C-alpha cells in the first residue's frame, strides 16, 4: 500500500469538496433574491469549505508545522464568521435593506412594532 498516494488522494478530495462549496456559495450569492439570503451564501459555505481546504493543505504538505498552523486559521474563521454575518444582517435590518415581502414570518418586525407602539415614539 502506497501511503503517499492515499494521502494525496484524500487531500485532493478535501480540496475539491472545499472549492465546490465555495463555488456554490458564489452561485448562491448571485441567485438569492435579497440581502439576508445572500448573506447566508456569503458567510456559511466557507465555514465547511475552509475547514476542508485547510485539512487538505495540511495533508498534502504532510508537515506538522503546517498542520498546527492551520488550527488557528480554522478557529478564527469559526469565531469571526458569525460576528461578521450578524453585523451585516443587523445593519441591513435596521436600515430597511430587507425585502420584507419575501419573508413568510418576521417576528422581529412584529416585536419592534409592538415596542414602538408601547413607547408611542415614531423615531424608535
Partner 1 sequence: MSTPTITPPAPSGLRARLNRWPMLLWMTALWVLLWGDLTLANVLAGFGVAVLLLLLAPMPAVGYVGRVSILGTVWLLAKFILDVLLASVEVSKMALHPLRPPEGGVIRIPLRSESDVILTLTGVFTSLVPGSIIVEAHRFTGTLYVHVLDLPTSGGAEAFRQQVLRQERRLLYALASQEDLARAGLPRRRWWGGPGKGSDR
Q: What angle do CA 53, 55, 57 make, to 5 degrees?
A: 70
* Residue 113 Cβ vs partner 1, minimum distance, rounded to whole Å: 13
SS3 34: coil
Q: Which residues contact 122 (CB under 8 A, 6 or more apart)?
A: 116
Say whether residue 22 binds partner 1 (CB under 8 A).
Answer: no
* Residue 50 Cβ vs partner 1, minimum distance, rounded to whole Å: 12
CB 60 within 8 A of CB 7: yes
Using the rule CB under 8 A, which residue among 7, 90, 97, 116 binds partner 1?
Answer: 90
Say whether residue 93 binds partner 1 (CB under 8 A).
Answer: yes
Say whether residue 65 binds partner 1 (CB under 8 A).
Answer: yes
Query: What is the rounded CA–CA span in Å between residue 99 and residue 115?
Result: 21
| Of 56, 54, 53, residue with least CA distance to 9 | 56
Say whether residue 10 binds partner 1 (CB under 8 A).
Answer: no
DSSP state of 32: S
* Residue 100 Cβ vs partner 1, minimum distance, rounded to whole Å: 10
Q: Which is nearer to partner 1, 13 or 89 (CB)?
A: 89
* Residue 102 Cβ vs partner 1, minimum distance, rounded to whole Å: 7
Say whether residue 13 binds partner 1 (CB under 8 A).
Answer: no
Amino acid at each position: 500500500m502506497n501511503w503517499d498516494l492515499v494521502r494525496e488522494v484524500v487531500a485532493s478530495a478535501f480540496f475539491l469538496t472545499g472549492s465546490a462549496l465555495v463555488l456554490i456559495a458564489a452561485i448562491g450569492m448571485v441567485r438569492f433574491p435579497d440581502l439576508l439570503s445572500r448573506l447566508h451564501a456569503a458567510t456559511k459555505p466557507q465555514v465547511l469549505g475552509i475547514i476542508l481546504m485547510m485539512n487538505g493543505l495540511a495533508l498534502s504538505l504532510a508537515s506538522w508545522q503546517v498542520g498546527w498552523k492551520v488550527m488557528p486559521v480554522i478557529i478564527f474563521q469559526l469565531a469571526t464568521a458569525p460576528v461578521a454575518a450578524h453585523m451585516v444582517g443587523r445593519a441591513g435590518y435596521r436600515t430597511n435593506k430587507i425585502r420584507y415581502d419575501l419573508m413568510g414570518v418576521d417576528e422581529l418586525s412584529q416585536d419592534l412594532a409592538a415596542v414602538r407602539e408601547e413607547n408611542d415614539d415614531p423615531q424608535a
